[in-house]
Amino acid sequence: MIAAIGLRLLPLCCAHCVASPFLAAGVMTLILGIDPGSRITGYGVVRDTGRGCVYVASGCIRTGSGELHERLQIVYRGVREVIKTYGPVTMGIEKVFMAKNADSALKLGQARGAAIVAGAEEELEIAEYTATQVKQAVAGTGGANKEQVMMMVMHLLKLTQKPQIDASDALAIALCHAHTRSSLLPHGLSTARSRGGRLRL
């Protein structure tokens, strides 16, 4: 089924995550980030250890060139498959803030809806963020470009290879969600936050 819907699911945990003492302590939270699109939907899963985030998985759900309703079904099924595979308990997703035209905005909004319904169906806590909020949390400035965001994602998650751009955006959303949750909880990523709002290791 995974191959049929075009998912590229990576190993559940990296070596750093497996070796972490927080795993045994049961204090880690799996967070899913979604960068929605009617053609390509990026996903990223990170583990919030309470002292920072570690990489779990990322990839893209590619819908092909079928009818819109078929592509939306692929997004819905793909997001549910990611959730079932990795078991996140909370999800962050990017808000629609701009598009090339009204038709593109409508399709993007529908893809977001499909992803949100998939998360709700799996009973995930869901939060929405603007692109500016994500950039501010990860790169320290709302004016960061995609390459700058990707470099910070790689630095924060200790990645040695560049992720696909949509997957990178999804990982950034997951990191933003972790950062935001930490500010609302008594404990969280307090040691991973720095001046100016940007995450640090």
Task: Report whether 91 contacts 33 (CB < 8 A).
Answer: yes
94 is in an annotated binding site: yes
Which tokens in the block code for residue 199? 């995450």
User: Would you call 48 a catalytic residue per the annotation?
Assistant: no
User: Is 94 a residue of the active site?
Assistant: yes
Long-range contacts of 9-15 (CB under 8 A, 24+ apart): 9/57, 9/59, 9/81, 9/82, 9/85, 10/57, 10/58, 10/59, 11/57, 12/56, 12/57, 12/85, 12/86, 13/47, 13/56, 14/54, 14/55, 14/56
> Catalytic pick from 35, 48, 81, 169?
35
Structure tokens at 171: 């990982």
Residue 125 marked as a ligand binder:
no
Question: Which residue is catalytic, options 48, 81, 94, 169?
Answer: 94
Any known ligand binding at 169? no
Mark whether 35 is an active-site residue. yes
Residues placed in the known binding site: 35, 94, 166
Residues placed in the known binding site for Mg(2+): 35, 94, 166
Residues marked active site are found at: 35, 94, 166
